[in-house]
Structure 1
Amino acid sequence: MLLNSYDEWSPLREVIVGSAESYVSHERELSFELFFHDNIAGDNDAARLEWYYPRLRSRNGTPPSAGGTRVPVKRRYVDELNEDLQGLAETLASLGVTVHRPTDVAPETAEVRTPAWSASVVPPLNLRDNTLIAGDEIIETAPMIRSRYFETQLLKPVFQEYFRRGARWSVMPRPLMTDASFDLSYARSSTAGGPMEPIEDPRPSRYDVGHEMLFDAAQCLRLGRDIVANIATRNHALGVDWLERHLEGRFRVHRVHRLSDSHIDSMVLALRPGTLLCRSEAVLDLLPEPLRTWDVIVPPAPQAYHFPRYEDDDLILTSRYIDLNVLSVDPETVLVNEACPELVRELERRGFTVVPVRHRHRRLFGGGFHCFTLDTVRDGGPEDYLG
């Protein structure tokens, strides 16, 4: 089928489901720390009762080496994650959706390297982050984490086939991603964040060009001919500048500011025209005015007993609200983590058909069903939902 995806809810025909093969470590360096710095809009006090992940400094106060440090990911978690991903793919196929999978990272490919830095490889798991599907166009966005710099290369076989069938295919300018590329003011000025280490002055590099566009597709909410884009840093603003110019005349881009640190798909998702799933009512105040009239579903706060308990050396990358990261198969059908019964009951009470799917280690790998999937073909078009 031809590439066609304008929204988050119209009947889903084709999708790419991510892979966690060869996921062996987290690379804890500047880009990783900034990305997981938590400053969602002041509405997750319950989750903030515990820090999201351990401090970068060791217990004796020793800082990491200059190049960062690699934290191993336990093999059993990766195996169970891949089981759950296979279950997600099979569930989608059972609902009549054509499922594509990316190329797995080869086990011997442990590192990516550019002239300015090197980092461990992250496999193509959270596919939503680095690719925006805008109607009939694939847009590879400018990555924000060094370990994921070449991630979209593992989607090339799928993208190539859509291009052969007529899709447009664009790539945002690739950032150099030196320390000086990152706007640090957001993390330095934040008072609501998690256990960030003090951010030192950036190390100089011969490749420095100042702040660059660093922008993930998961900062966007797609609503027909409208795209809502979250901006928290100068890096994001530059990315949205590019997006506006690139899509001019085809889409309207609406800027929202500091709805979250970056991604918004565990803050707000559109389940169908006129209905939003939101972390709190306060989210509405930050959205474009036409969206404030939509019905909003705010599920009960997630409970700690829904999540596995982990060891002290396991990095917790997301808040408990990660299970709001659901995937709509059509305007009436939603895939939800089976471990989230309060959310299941609330959506069913509001008239949705809920398909429970297992996903155990979402807090360790930073994604839910929306993150793990890239919908490439839906029935919807460039409708005007915002007027």
Structure 2
Amino acid sequence: MQLNSFDDWSPLREIIVGSARNYISHDRELSFELFFHENITNDNPGRSEWYYPRLSLSDEQRTGGSDRVPIKARYVDELNEDLAGIVTALESLSVTVHRPMDVDPTTVGVRTPAWSAPVVPPLNVRDNTLVVGDEIIETPPMIRARYFETQLLKPIFAEYFRRGARWSVMPRPFMTDASFDLSYVRESTAGGPTEPIGEVTTSPYDTGVEMMFDAAQCLRLGRDIVVNVSTGNHALACDWLERHLEGRFRVHRVHRLSDSHIDSMVLALRPGTLLVRSPEVRDKLPVPLRGWDMIVPPPATADDFPRYQDDDLILTSPFIDLNVLSVDPDTVLVNDACPELIRELERHKFTVVPVRHRHRRLFGGGFHCFTLDTVREGGDEDYLS
């Protein structure tokens, strides 16, 4: 089928599900620290142990003198089992599933003129690709280890291109330390890395603040796209997006709704209905969206998540399970470990398909993150006028 995806709720026909094969470690460096700085002011002032990411790095976590944090093999094995379960659930709903290429186990890293990094598998495939209608847009990554991640989706993109899709790549950053707008993380007082971000390293490739932006910062609503902008990196990328899509889509900026991604903050489940983290989200949305119905599920509890050891790096807040995937306006894939969320969605007349996903806090993604819908039945309808 031809590429066609304008929203997150129209009947789903084709989708990409990510892969975690040969995921062995996290690399603790500046881009990683900044990305997982989580602005969670007003969410949980109690700062309970299970809520906040443990980003302090012990000597035991370092490998080979680097800041690389190993991931236990059993977590990766169980994640791959759960990904297979997502594929099975989608196929049972008559959705065609595509999978990216796997990272070859002999590929230990990549190098650019400015830095080197390990290779991260194409797991959270939503992040670095924005599908708008009949166009694939590869976005400039925010984590160095993911710089070449979309290369592993290239066979799928090439096939859609052969069928008539547009295919664009936003400008790629040098991604030196000076490329990052640090004002946001330095101004924030809640959440974030346990070590402050200090002076950055200079490089002969410094060009100042550059475009860096993930597609998961976007809420797609037919001909309208809501974009979260929290840093100068995001603002530059949004400038590019506005000019590139001018005349085809309307781009609406929201400011600091979250650090970056908004799909665990707000998701559109169908026209007129949003799933939101808290009632306060309403005030930051574009005015036309403030009149939509908003489902605010009960907060998760510690019992909804596995217990981990002190050397396991927790990357996301417990709100990660709001990261659901709609198969059509009435059907939603939800983590089976979230009974409160399931009951709330069923109360609003949704059909819930429970699917297992155990280690979402270790790998930074839920069902929406792990998937990239490429064919839905919807079009460029106007939902906001």
- TM-score interval, smaller chain: over 0.9
Alignment-derived partner of residue 8 in structure 1: 8
77, 80, 83: which one aligns with 1:82: 80
Secondary structure, aligned partner of 1:371: coil
Q: Decide whether the 8 Å contact of 2:51 with 2:317 is kept in 1.
A: no
Alignment-derived partner of residue 91 in structure 1: 89
232, 235, 243: which one aligns with 2:233: 235
1:196 Cα shift?
3.3
Return the letter of the residue paired with 1:58.
S
Q: Decide whether the 8 Å contact of 2:226 with 2:254 is kept in 1.
A: yes
Counterparts of 2:20 and 2:192 in 1: how far apart (Å)? 26
Counterparts of 2:119 and 2:45 in 1: how far apart (Å)? 33
1:312 aligns with 2:281: no
Cα offsets for 1:12-47 (capped at 9, x unmatched): 000000000010000000000000001035334466
326, 329, 342: which one aligns with 2:327: 329
Secondary structure, aligned partner of 1:328: strand
Q: Decide whether the 8 Å contact of 2:41 with 2:191 is kept in 1.
A: no
Return the letter of the residue paired with 1:200.
G
Alignment-derived partner of residue 134 in structure 2: 136
353, 359, 362: which one aligns with 1:361: 359
Alignment-derived partner of residue 54 in structure 2: 54
Return the letter of the residue paired with 2:361.
R
TM-score by length of 1: 0.96
1:9 Cα shift?
0.2
Alignment-derived partner of residue 341 in structure 1: 339
The Cα RMSD (Å) is 1.6
Alignment-derived partner of residue 263 in structure 1: 261
Distance 1:68 1:183, change over 3 A: farther
Q: Decide whether the 8 Å contact of 2:53 with 2:317 is kept in 1.
A: no
- 1:139-154 to 2 correspondence within 5 Å? 139-154=137-152
Alignment-derived partner of residue 100 in structure 1: 98
Secondary structure, aligned partner of 1:376: strand
TM-score by length of 2: 0.97
1:50 Cα shift?
4.4
Cα offsets for 1:36-76 (capped at 9, x unmatched): 0010353344665546333435379xx989x9610000100
Cα offsets for 1:82-140 (capped at 9, x unmatched): 00000000110000000000000000111111110011111000000000000000000
The number of equivalent residue pairs is: 384
Secondary structure, aligned partner of 1:285: helix
Q: Decide whether the 8 Å contact of 1:52 with 1:195 is kept in 2.
A: no
Counterparts of 1:275 and 1:44 in 2: how far apart (Å)? 25
1:199 Cα shift?
1.2
Return the letter of the residue paired with 2:381.
E
Alignment-derived partner of residue 173 in structure 1: 171
Alignment-derived partner of residue 296 in structure 1: 294
Q: Decide whether the 8 Å contact of 1:132 with 1:139 is kept in 2.
A: yes
Alignment-derived partner of residue 158 in structure 1: 156
Q: Decide whether the 8 Å contact of 2:51 with 2:318 is kept in 1.
A: no
Q: Decide whether the 8 Å contact of 2:224 with 2:249 is kept in 1.
A: yes
Q: Decide whether the 8 Å contact of 1:333 with 1:352 is kept in 2.
A: yes
1:193 Cα shift?
2.0
Secondary structure, aligned partner of 2:380: coil
Return the letter of the residue paired with 1:35.
F
Counterparts of 1:347 and 1:228 in 2: how far apart (Å)? 23
Alignment-derived partner of residue 18 in structure 1: 18
Return the letter of the residue paired with 2:92.
S
243, 249, 252: which one aligns with 1:251: 249
272, 275, 278: which one aligns with 1:277: 275
Distance 1:8 1:37, change over 3 A: same
Distance 1:288 1:41, change over 3 A: farther
Q: Decide whether the 8 Å contact of 2:136 with 2:168 is kept in 1.
A: yes
Counterparts of 1:251 and 1:81 in 2: how far apart (Å)? 36
Alignment-derived partner of residue 189 in structure 2: 191
Distance 1:238 1:58, change over 3 A: same
Distance 1:10 1:240, change over 3 A: same
Distance 1:57 1:84, change over 3 A: closer
Q: Decide whether the 8 Å contact of 1:231 with 1:258 is kept in 2.
A: yes
Q: Decide whether the 8 Å contact of 1:29 with 1:68 is kept in 2.
A: no
Alignment-derived partner of residue 384 in structure 1: 382
Q: Decide whether the 8 Å contact of 2:100 with 2:152 is kept in 1.
A: yes
Q: Decide whether the 8 Å contact of 1:43 with 1:282 is kept in 2.
A: no
